């Protein structure tokens, strides 16, 4: 039996370098990157084996970037959500945001919630977009929720209090660096990790499929023999 890539998570890195290669401002890379999000999400929604796709779009650390870049990313996100809602609906994709949304503007929070509500009836792919997401922050918030509710701290309880409770099967990072940058530290405990030098704006469904093909031949032992 080969492995099934039920939950695929991707660290979408390399937008800025892609733009610099083309002698364009960094934000052009983010614009192209948003188009690739649509292509990969659509591909995943038509893939028989992928049930969840989690994409890292903005980390709790990304606020450290220059103000103009952060503002551009916020505008791009809102433009993306408005423009792509119909793509989610056409492909029966259910949208979820993960991360601490409270730091976003009221209008952006509203748009994110509306996108979740409008796609809540979709029964195909679950698409999680990680926004102001950091795994340490997610775990801390989950522990606090359990404490406030007076619940016992068990692995199961903590797991279900997380923003995204499903374990990751396949975790990919584009852009050539080999680190997790605070992404899904709990859920990726037994994920297979794949790193590609391809910059996110150049990433294609074809490359994703070829990574899935390699993933399928890995022996996953989960500590057993
Ligand atoms: C990833 O691309 C997108 C975000 C973190 C928002 P980068 O903007 O990190 O691009 P590089 O890594 O600088 O090339
Ligand atoms: C990780 O990329 C975060 C996202 C892709 C959203 P970064 O570019 O922020 O990560 P570092 O700083 O290289 O670790
Ligand atoms: Mg980067």
- Return the ligand number nearest the Cα of 61: 2
Pocket test for ligand 1, best of 10, 12, 13 (most atoms within 8 A of CB): 13
- Strand ranges, E, within 52-190: 52-59, 94-98, 126-133, 170-173
Q: Given this model, what pLDDT does residue 172 score?
A: 99
Q: Given this model, what pLDDT does residue 1 score?
A: 75
Q: For residue range 148-185, list pLDDT tens digits in order.
A: 999 999 999 999 999 998 999 999 999 999 999 999 99
Phi, psi of 170 (to 5 degrees): -130, 120
CA of 16 to the centre of ligand 1 (A): 5
Q: Which residues are catalytic?
A: 13, 62
Domains within the chain, CATH numbers bracketed: 7-216 (3.40.1180.10)
Enter the tokens of residue 81.
């959500």
Enter the tokens of residue 148.
């406030």
- Strand ranges, E, within the chain: 7-11, 52-59, 94-98, 126-133, 170-173, 192-195
Pocket test for ligand 2, best of 26, 40, 54, 62 (most atoms within 8 A of CB): 62
- Residues 131 and 115: their CA atoms lie apart, in Å, by 14
Q: For residue range 6-43, list pLDDT tens digits in order.
A: 999 999 999 999 999 999 999 999 999 999 999 999 99
* Cβ–ligand 1 contact at 17 (below 6 Å): yes
Task: pLDDT band for 219, please (50, 70, 90 cuts).
Answer: very high
């Amino acid at each position: 039996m080969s492995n099934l890539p039920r939950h695929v998570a991707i660290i979408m890195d390399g937008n800025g370098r892609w733009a610099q290669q083309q002698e364009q401002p960094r934000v052009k890379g983010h614009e192209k990157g948003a188009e690739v999000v649509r292509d990969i999400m659509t591909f995943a929604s038509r893939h028989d084996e992928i049930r969840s796709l989690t994409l890292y779009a903005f980390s709790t650390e990304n606020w450290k970037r220059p103000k103009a870049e952060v503002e551009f990313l916020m505008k791009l996100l809102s433009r993306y959500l408005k423009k792509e809602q119909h793509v989610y609906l056409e492909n029966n994709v259910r949208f979820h945001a993960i991360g601490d949304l409270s730091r976003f503007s009221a209008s952006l929070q509203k748009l994110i919630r509306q996108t979740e509500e409008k796609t809540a009836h979709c029964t195909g792919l679950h698409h999680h977009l990680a926004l102001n997401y950091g795994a340490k922050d997610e775990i801390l918030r989950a522990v606090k929720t359990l404490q406030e509710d007076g619940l016992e701290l068990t692995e199961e309880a903590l797991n279900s209090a997380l923003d995204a409770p499903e374990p990751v099967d396949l975790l990919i990072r584009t852009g050539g660096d080999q680190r997790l940058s605070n992404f899904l530290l709990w859920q990726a405990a037994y994920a297979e990790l794949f790193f590609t030098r391809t910059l996110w704006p150049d990433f294609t469904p074809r490359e994703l499929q070829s990574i899935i093909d390699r993933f399928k031949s890995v022996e996953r032992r989960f500590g057993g023999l």
